[in-house]
Amino acid sequence: MHIIFIRTVILYLAVFLVIRLMGKRQVGEMQPSELIVTIMTADIATGPLESIDTPLFNGLVPLIAMLFIDSFMIFGILKTRIGRRFITGKPSFLMKDGVLQEKEMKAQRISLSDLHEELRSQGHPLLHEINTIILETNGQMSIICKDNSSLPVNVIADGLRLHENLKEGNIAEKWLDTELKKNGIVSDKEVFLAYVSDGSLYFHRKEQ
């Protein structure tokens, strides 16, 4: 009995440490890759607990491997635009300029009942008062009302210029270059985040 207790304590501390190092969020805020890692981590930890004959080492090694895999995905794949799109996905517009995007709703398997339920839960029961509804990559819906300012457009993220966002937001590359130079920025790599809102550029430099 004491062996099971000791194993439980060790594996609990190991899983707790791995989850903390991965920086995991609440289940409702997780990306698909994060949810997979979390489920696999829990499943791996139960192996040595279900059978005393299973070496404790067999549970600890996969946990460490999962930590390295997650770190590789974050600091390796997610540093590229294609990798970020593949792993985290892309936000979906369920409503644009006050018009519901029926095809996108079907593609995301969002019914009108689901949509209305979410709107009510966020305190926006009147659909005609809403300008934009975005289904974020973590499954949450962002709602922009018609009386709010225009939706910000990210143009640079972690040193990478988001050309697709520039095109969708009708933002000229030359205008962005000019605004960056006005603020003493000569390279996109100096910028951690830059976005355009109501015709103005806002940015955060990378830490030195």
CATH number of 92-145: 3.30.240.20
pLDDT at 77: 60
pLDDT at 178: 94
pLDDT at 76: 60
pLDDT at 172: 94
pLDDT at 147: 72
Q: Is residue 174 over pLDDT 70?
A: yes
Q: How far is the CA of 130 from the CAs of 8, 94, 174, in angstroms?
A: 50, 11, 32
One fold for 92-145 and 153-205: yes
Q: Which CATH architecture has domain 153-205?
A: 2-Layer Sandwich (3.30)
* Every domain of the chain and the residues it spans: 2-86, 92-145, 153-205
Q: What DSSP line would sit under 35-53, residue for residue?
A: HHHHHHHHHHHHHHHH-TT
Specify whether the backbone of 101 is left (phi greater than 0), alpha (psi in -120 to 50) or beta: beta
pLDDT at 137: 79
Tens-digit pLDDT profile for residues 28-46: 556 666 677 777 777 777 7
Average pLDDT over the chain, rounded to whole?
A: 81
Tens-digit pLDDT profile for residues 66-117: 778 777 776 666 666 666 666 667 889 999 988 999 999 999 899 988 999 9
pLDDT at 24: 52
Q: Whole-model pTM?
A: 0.53
Please provide residue 53's backbone torsions phi and psi, each rounded to the nearest 5 degrees. Answer: -70, -20
Distance CA 89, CA 138 (A): 9
Mean pLDDT, residues 180-192 taken together: 93
pLDDT at 155: 94
